[in-house]
Structure 1
Amino acid sequence: MTSAVIVGSGPNGLAAAVTLAAEGVDVTVLESADTPGGGVRSGEATLPGLVHDECSGFHPFAVESVFSRRFDLAEAGLRWAWPDVQYAHPLDGGRGAAAVRSVEETAASLGADARSYRRMYGPLTERFDRIADEFLQPLAHVPSHPIALARFGLYAPLPAGLLARRFRTEEARALWGGVAAHNFRPMSGLLSSAIGAALATAAHRFGWPVAVGGSAAIADAMITLLEKSGGRVETGIHVSSIDELPRADIVMLDTSPRSAARILGDRLGRRTSKAYRRFQHGTAAFQVALAVEDGIPWSYEPARRAGTVHLSGTFAETAAAERATAGGEMPDRPFVLLGQQYLADPSRSQGSLHPVDAYAHVPSGYTGDATELVLRQIERFAPGVRDHVRAMRVRTTAQIARDNPNYVGGDIITGEKTPVQTLVGPRLALNPYGTGVPGVFLCSAAAPPGPGAHGLVGHHAARTALRRLR
């Protein structure tokens, strides 16, 4: 019987495992932590009964993809829930902008920019099923929907700062800046619009859903499918060398490229080893988990109904904060992404106590304490919020990297999204998953199509491994 060993149980490692097991492969997943899931773990970070997501909280690309169409996670117990407002961006003075599922309704709220917003996102949303299938796979492929992909290509390569000029109002520019900041890079770089355009369009087509019960439910559902096919997950096992692994026909590494180079050692070709070890990690995250009584009293009312709230002020302020953090400087007003998952999934709360997760963008390997800066950004747009906080837990960049070694220096998107790394991953090759070592493949978010708890890197890597085997 064909066998496979997968190192790492993040969503990509588990997706690879499920894909291989469905083809009759005997699969074993090895996880160094005591709990599987990687970036989709959840827990009671603040108070008993309050469910916080440790990293990934919203999953627009996990709802509808080649992987989710192939494997029925709902049958394995996974349920999705959506907030009323997908994301909001407050401004000073109780102003702001918000994105809801309807393009028309979102556009209508933007005043003078209604037509411009509608013209950009209307056609993208109509074609987004085909567009997403195209860009959520390796670059080297023959497009099945070239016209739809070309439409997305009008915006994706542009610097986010340049695309912001299509909007005239401060509200519309701020809304765009907040979603573009998910790229974790300066707004002046090429391709810095790609992630923002994809996420903003996904908000209209798929929404930004949460997994009911916490993001850990995604891992639980995949493990259920894996076990039904005879596979298994073993936790508490640290792998430092490929020689420690049991004999297998396929080895999949859901690890950072640097860890892959260390595990493979001298078996890895010189050029690949050099590329893996030089793989760039960028801007990091600093997490503040809060237990909030009666929710956050946002001055901008739609933020009280938003699953995600971007806190960075105007587009100019967002761009300045991202430029500073990328350059190694901690800004006084960092970009803060705040998740209110409980609005979509009340089961995460306990009565009037609600879990809130805030992430500040900070320089890679930042050793300071950004807690007060995060709280100030929240209080800036929600005066009096500190009176609602009943408990708090902080995770520094070092703690984030310790909890998940793929997040080098606190980089939760597993690699800086430079144009080259965005398109090809850790090395230039027709097959971004092959390591050059026979039977060994990289399947982490460092490879295309990149970060996001969609499992598509693992799915594509596993299909590549099966083709090579046959």
Structure 2
Amino acid sequence: MTSLDAVVIGSGPNGLAAAVTLARAGLRVQVLEAEDSIGGGSRTLDLGPSGFRHDLCSAVHPMALASPFFREFELARRVEFIVPDISFAHGLSPTTAALSYRDLARTADGLGPDGRAWAGLFAPLVENIDAVIDLGLNQLLRIPTHPVVAVRYGLRVAEQGSLLWNLRFRTAAARALLTGVNAHTLGRMPSLPTAGAGLLLAALGHAVGWPIPRGGSQSIADAMVDDLLRHGGDVVTGVRVQSLADLPETRATLFDTSARAMDAIVGERFPAGYRRALGRFRYGNGAAKVDFALSGPVPWRNPELRCSPTIHLGGDRATLARSEWEVSRGRIPASPYLLVSQPSLVDDTRAPHGAHSLWTYTHVPQGCEQDMGQVVEDLLESYAPGFKDLVVARNSIPASRLSHHDANYIGGDFGAGAVTLTQLVKRPVVSPRPWRTPVPGIYLCSSSSVPGPGVHGMSGWHAARLALAERFGLEPPALALHATETVTRPGKRDIRERA
């Protein structure tokens, strides 16, 4: 490619969403990726013995079926998603579990005396899920298009994000089931950001399910790269951009990087006030990642957990809240929260025949250097006696080293910025167009910008459409597959490495 219209730095889901949008508008686009493989947090890697495939960060993808960008892009036609009957489960103890099914009524039936309360909480959100998604991913800084839905959702967030959160449910099972989802967002509980994200994820579990992409999260990135290459785009790996001088002349540069990394690259080209704002942007606590290669399925004491691809562990609501409070105080919790994914239950590409791959992470303080592998293994053994006998290999990444695999995960913060009430709006600055920077042609399109973390592609889509209008005077292109297009997986030969 001899001349370029736009460069995208970073090949995570947001960067690729931006690149696809620009390329489909007819622009000459190049993606520069610092790592040797594309995908950012949606990469799938060989972290253990041959034949075992593990997702680096994201493993389960309700947003992949619900995100407005991915729906317009028709991701479900490009990637095979497996949607389990059980969206997620919560192990309160080794013998007690609560389950959330795709079927809302079945979930309510299983929660006994709290079934009606659970249905009452989620039915209005599930029935209006498109409006709820639009509110969360498109309208954080706008007047809601669906005010009644916004009020209903807001009231539920206020309830579950405050000291009122125990009033609705009477049983430990229902309380813990929802709290385990809230804990997907790093932060103290109860709080409005954790409740808002948890309610959306749990509602998606009933509306579209919690799908697992066949072949791993990498298949999502591969589908976007395939489309980018078809439309004349280019991807180069092994390129670590240090300054603007490392980039070719273009009319638009989009950063799928942390706000801090963008500031380091652009430097004094940014006005002092904007740099101060970026300097005040905070990064959250971290995740310690532990993956296992197993010779057989996890021998959960509770048989219900043997059927759930996604499991939350960590006890009841009070224990979970205490654990997250300890993390926020800079301490490793005595009873840690653990998010577990068992993708090989439904996807036979993740492990050799008869074997299984297990994906986990636990929350720790920002930049924590402790290897949590043994802690996680001991916790799993307590819920599944005999687990340790099945471990073929264990790969542990402390929070302090997560950024070695993805530079956006500063100190182990996989959200590329703390998800607080302030930083849901000030991400990284307060603006109706927060993707635009003061330097013409430079845009931030990562999870450090609105709407925040998640494999949804929306930050990249918003930034790219803004760049198309401001820099090129172009309308957003259609993203759907043409009638004559077939889906292929991009090969290594299609992605160039810097020599």
CA contact (8 A) 1:91 1:381 kept: no
Aligned position for 1:87: 88
Q: What amino acid sits opposite 2:133 in the alignment?
A: A
The equivalent of 1:109 in structure 2 is: 110
User: What is the aligned partner in structure 2 of residue 306 from structure 1?
Assistant: 308
Decide which moves more: 395-404 or 141-150.
141-150
Measured in 1, the distance between the counterparts of 2:353 and 2:145 equals: 49
Deviations 1:65-118 (A, max 9, x none): 32123223355x421112231111112251110111011000110111011001
Equivalent residue, structure 2, for 1:455? 457
Contact 2:105–2:119 at 8 Å: present in 1 too? yes
| 2-structure distance, mates of 1:184, 1:64 | 22
Q: Which residue pairs with 2:248 in the alignment? A: 246
Shift of 1:5: 0.4
The secondary structure found in structure 2 opposite 1:291 is strand
Give CA deviations for 1:114-146 in whole Å, capped at 9, x if unaligned. 110010111111111221022112522243222
Runs of 4+ in structure 1 over 3 Å off: none
CA contact (8 A) 1:293 1:389 kept: yes
| TM-superposition CA deviations, 1:317-339 (whole Å, max 9, x none) | 10010011111100122111011
Q: Give 1:20-419 correspondences, 5 Å limit.
A: 20-74=22-76, 77-158=78-159, 159=161, 162-419=164-421
Counterpart residue identity of residue 253, structure 1: F
For 2:448, the equivalent position in structure 1 comes to 446
Say if 2:122 and 2:203, in contact at 8 Å, map to a contact too: yes
Q: Secondary structure at the match of 1:192?
A: helix
**Partners of 1:7 and 1:93 in 2: CA distance:** 45
Counterparts of 1:274 and 1:7, CA distance in 2: 22
CA contact (8 A) 2:344 2:350 kept: yes
Deviation at 1:278, TM superposition (A): 2.1
Measured against aligned partners, the alpha-carbon deviations of 1:146-190 in whole angstroms (never above 9, x if no partner) come to 222222111224426532431110111111110111121010333
Please report how far the alpha carbon of residue 298 of structure 1 lies from its aligned counterpart in structure 2 after TM superposition: 1.3
1:165 match: secondary structure: coil
Q: 1:88 to 1:215 in 2, by over 3 A?
A: same
Shift of residue 2, structure 1, vs aligned partner: 7.1
Q: Alpha-carbon deviation of 1:397?
A: 1.5
Give the conservation status (yes or no) of the 8 Å contact 1:164–1:176: no
Q: CA deviation at 1:404?
A: 0.7
Question: Percent identity, aligned pairs only?
Answer: 39
Question: Structure 1: any 5+ residue segments left out of the alignment?
Answer: none
State the number of aligned residues.
Answer: 469
C-alpha distance after superposition, 1:226-280 (max 9, x if no partner): 0111001100011111122101111100010101111110111112111112211
Equivalent AA in structure 1 for residue 165 of structure 2: L
**Contact 1:284–1:366 (CA under 8 A) maintained in structure 2:** yes
**8 Å contact 1:312–1:377 — kept in the other structure?**
no
Higher mean C-alpha displacement, 79-88 vs 97-106: 79-88
Q: State the alpha-carbon separation in 1 of the partners of residues 267 and 260 from structure 2.
A: 11
Q: CA deviation at 1:380?
A: 2.2
Is the 1:160–1:177 contact (alpha carbons within 8 Å) kept by the matching residues of 2?
Answer: no
How many Å apart are 1:423 and its aligned residue? 2.6
AA aligned opposite 2:99? A
State the distance in 2 between where 1:317 and 1:11 align. 34
Give a deviation string over 1:375-424, Cα, whole Å, max 9, x none. Answer: 12212221221112121111112321111110000111111111011233
2:165–2:190 CA contact under 8 A, matched in 1: no
- The amino acid of 2:93's aligned partner reads D
Partner of 1:422: 424
How far, CA to CA, are the matches of 1:333 and 1:361 in structure 2? 11
CA-based RMSD: 1.5
Whole-angstrom CA distance in 2 between matches of 1:65 and 1:327: 34
- Give me the whole-angstrom Cα distance separating, in 2, the residues matched to 1:136 and 1:127: 14
Matched residues in 2 for 1:2 and 1:431: separation? 25
Aligned residue type for 1:10: G
- Counterpart contact for 1:333–1:373, Cα < 8 Å: no
Paired residue type of 2:263? A
CA distance in 1: counterparts of 2:274 and 2:380, whole angstroms: 44
- Aligned partners of 2:94 and 2:384 also within 8 Å: no
Partners of 1:137 and 1:214 in 2: CA distance: 27
Retained in 2: the 8 A contact 1:32–1:236?
yes
TM-score (normalised: structure 2): 0.91
- Does the Cα contact within 8 Å between 1:92 and 1:380 map onto a contact in 2? no
Please say which of residues 12-21 and 85-94 is displaced more in the overlay.
85-94
Indicate if the aligned counterparts of 1:292 and 1:354 stay in contact, CA closer than 8 A: yes
**Deviates further, 126-135 or 141-150:** 141-150
Q: Which amino acid aligns with 2:202?
A: A
What is the distance in 2 between the residues matched to 1:47 and 1:83? 27
